[in-house]
Every structure is written in C-alpha cells, then in structure tokens.
Amino acid sequence: MELIKTLDNGVSMYHNNIKQDFRKAQEILNMFDETKIIDAQMIYNNRINNEYEYSYQYDYSRMNNYYNLIDMINECKQHLKRELFEESKHSYALYQVKDISSEERQEQIRDIERRRKEGCKCAVCAFNSPSLEEWESGYMKYKGKRVTIEKALKKAGFKKELINHYMKQEKERKEMFLTISSSPQFIVGCNYNLIEDIKRSEYLLDNKECSLELAGCLHDDRLYIAMLHESLEDLDNMDGALYGYAMMRHITLNGNDYMIAVSYHGSNTTVSMLDDCIKQLESINVMSNEHVKGNDMVRLNSNGSYEIVVHDDIVIHESIDSIVSYECILCNGVGVYDGYSNRMNDSISVVCPMCDGNKKITENVHKVIDETIRVNKKIKVLPYCKGYNHYGDYIELAVSGLL
C-alpha cells in the first residue's frame, strides 16, 4: 500500500486500493424479501469527490488488550439479554404455529420486558471491571480486599476460558488502522450488522423498515463508513476483523469540507478506541461524534430519498358459517307489501312474500375464502440516520464547534 503522507501527530495516511464489490452487497440485499428485488449497482450513487477515503495507521498501545478483556467481561454480563432474546424467539415461534394464544404471547412479552428492566443481580453482572491501572498491576479491589485479578474473576464465577485469556495477555504496543470508505460492500455490510443489533436489542425477529434502510444507505451520496481494524489485509475480508465502525457524513459548512462521525457502533471499549482514533484526524477535518452534539442546527442538501415499489401478498383464509338477520329489502322492514289491484282500482296491502311478515330476513351464510391478493405500494426509503434528521432532499444536523 502506498504511503501518502504522515501527519504531524504521527498518523500515517495510505492508499488502500479498495475495489467496489457489488456482488457482496447484493448477497446481503438478497437476505431480505423487501430488498432482494433491488439491484445494488443500479441504486448505488458514487460519492462526492473528497480527500478522506484512505486508511489511517496510528499507534495504539497495550490498551487494546485491556479493552479486549473488558469486552469479554461485558459480554458475559449480557447473558440475561441473550436468554430473553431466545425466550422471545421461542415464544414467537409458538405463536406462529398457534401453540399459544395472542393473550399468552403478550403476557410473555410483558414478563420478558419486566425482567429486562429489573436486570440481573448475579455475581458476574455485579462485577466491577478492573481499571487500566489495576490491569497493568495485576491486582484489583474485590469485595473490599486487594486480590489478584485472576482470583477476583474466579470468585465472581467467570468461565475458565476468560480467565485463561486474561492470564495470557501481554502489555504490548500495536498499530491499528481506521479506514474510511464508501464501497458498497462496507456500506451495506456495516448497516446489516446494525440491523441485527437493533433486532436483538429490541427483541425483534423482523424489521422491514430497517432492511429497507440498506437501499437508502447505498443511494445517499454523502454517507460513508469508518472502520477500525488491525491490518490493511483485513480489507479483503473484514469477517471477524472489525473492531467497531462509525457512520460518517461528508458535509460542507461555510465553504469548509468535513467528514464527520454521526454515530458510533461497537462495544463501549471499541467505541472508545474508535473515538480516540478519529480525534487524531481532526487536523484534516475528520471530526469525532462530539461535533454533532451541539446547539447549532444547520440544514444541508441531500440527494433525496430512494423510491421503491414494495410488493406483498395478502393471504385471506377464512371460513364463514353464520346466521345473519337483516331488514327485509322488499317491504323495508314493515312486514307488508303494498300492491295495486286494477280490478279493484285500489292499493292493497298483503303480507310481504319475502319475509312472510316477519319484517326481517334470516339466513345461513356459509362461505370459504382462500385467496391470495397481490398488493403494492411505492415507499420512500431513507438511510439509517442516527445522530441527525433526514428529510430526503435535506438533512438537519446539530453541530458544535464547526461554525
């Protein structure tokens, strides 16, 4: 990879030669019924010319190992969340095959939500992670006593795999890369990961609105991804190599160009790493997330929303067997019919021959309906836009320190 330049703070800037992979982007679109009809290459808009789409190498010290341990500890603390998701998934499956009623399903959802709010109070979830200084020393305070971190982890009930991982950690320095890219495989791939995170966090098994946002992300010509990873070789295959990522927007304010992070995604520790890296690039106008948390609301042009015709099948499977009663349509519910006799030259009232004077008609309605009706609707699709408001032709963004 060609070195372009080295910034004053030591960050090295490289060409990364990323090739657009529409095949990979299409594979992800094909995973959803709502987006598999979309051609990734047709919907994709080339991004506005900019000077930011490079890979940036910076020195990240032993803190990476520390954050890795904290990630593993925090992951263990998520066991209740995973259990509740599986319960919700199982409940949904039972409801789909009608093994439980709608009322039972709602009761299970309320119980899951109650337990989620209460949280877990086990020793693992109550464990206070060691600070960086404690991790460096190998000792921490646990239940009022200074003990080795290994002993504290064992006492709290963490699994052997995590403890062994901690014991093997080295306090070494290492290089990390931040790559800013608009390539479709990364735009769709990172947003797909985000959709899955949203579904898990909100106990959703399906979210059509989120899947359609994938199309909006490809269409938006000012939307980028900043990915944190260890090696430039990772760019050929990011599976398992992505530490965290940021949604970025290319904006212009008062004639100045900025690449600004509108949202971070990852664990608490990898988000901290991501933020630290982006802040090292502010000299070239790559700005951290703190610059979209201000009070200066600005309106910026956008290339609009993407319109998609969504098709669906409405399945009607009903069996009707009911006795219905309605007002007689011949006598209008009075029970008699007024006729005219030519011979008598007079109006004659007779018992209504349709309702036999009962004023109402009663009949047994039996009908089996088994039909599938194809419907379609044109929908405006916007990209995922956490951190700002997207209205199609323009966005509104609250900035800080940029005006």
Q: How many domains does the chain have?
A: 2
Please report whether residue 291 resides in a domain: yes
The pLDDT value recorded for residue 269 is: 74
Strand partners of residue 300: 395
The pLDDT value recorded for residue 139 is: 92
Q: What percent of the chain has pLDDT over 70?
A: 93
The pLDDT value recorded for residue 126 is: 92
Residues 235 and 248 occupy one common structural domain: yes
Mean pLDDT over residues 174-199, rounded? Answer: 81
Cα distances from 124 to residues 73, 152, 203, in angstroms, run 8, 10, 23
200 pLDDT above the threshold of 60: no
Please report whether residue 312 resides in a domain: yes
Mean pLDDT over residues 376-384, rounded? Answer: 82
Rounded (10°) angle between helices 184-201 and 79-96: 80
Please report whether residue 167 resides in a domain: no
User: What would the pLDDT profile of 136-181 be if each residue is shown by its tens digit?
Assistant: 788 999 999 999 999 999 999 999 999 988 887 765 567 889 999 9
Higher pLDDT, 319 or 199: 319
Higher pLDDT, 269 or 391: 391
Please report whether residue 227 resides in a domain: yes
Mean pLDDT over residues 194-211, rounded? Answer: 53
Please report whether residue 125 resides in a domain: no
Higher pLDDT, 212 or 318: 318
User: What would the pLDDT profile of 83-127 be if each residue is shown by its tens digit?
Assistant: 998 888 888 888 888 888 888 888 988 998 899 888 898 999 999
Mean pLDDT over residues 14-25, rounded? Answer: 91
The pLDDT value recorded for residue 199 is: 47
- The confidence band for 201, taking pLDDT boundaries of 50, 70 and 90, is very low
Q: What percent of the chain has pLDDT over 90?
A: 46
Residues 205 and 281 occupy one common structural domain: yes
338 pLDDT above the threshold of 80: yes
- Is residue 341 within a helix (H) or strand (E), and if so which, with residue range? strand 336-341
DSSP string over 345-384: TEEEEEE-TTTTTSSEEEEEEEEEEEEEEEEEEEEEE---
Residues 363 and 285 occupy one common structural domain: no
Please report whether residue 333 resides in a domain: yes
Please report whether residue 348 resides in a domain: yes
The pLDDT value recorded for residue 204 is: 39
Mean pLDDT over residues 209-219, rounded? Answer: 80
Q: Which domain holds residue 320?
A: 307-378
Residues 255 and 279 occupy one common structural domain: yes
Residues 261 and 312 occupy one common structural domain: no
Please report whether residue 43 resides in a domain: yes
How far is 263 from 55, CA to CA, in rounded Å? Answer: 19
Residues 199 and 286 occupy one common structural domain: yes
Residues 186 and 45 occupy one common structural domain: yes
Residues 256 and 337 occupy one common structural domain: no
Residues 207 and 296 occupy one common structural domain: yes
Q: What are the backbone angles phi and psi of residue 117, rounded to the nearest 5°?
A: -70, -35
- The confidence band for 205, taking pLDDT boundaries of 50, 70 and 90, is very low
Residues 187 and 241 occupy one common structural domain: yes
Residues 296 and 274 occupy one common structural domain: yes
The pLDDT value recorded for residue 140 is: 93
Residues 287 and 349 occupy one common structural domain: no
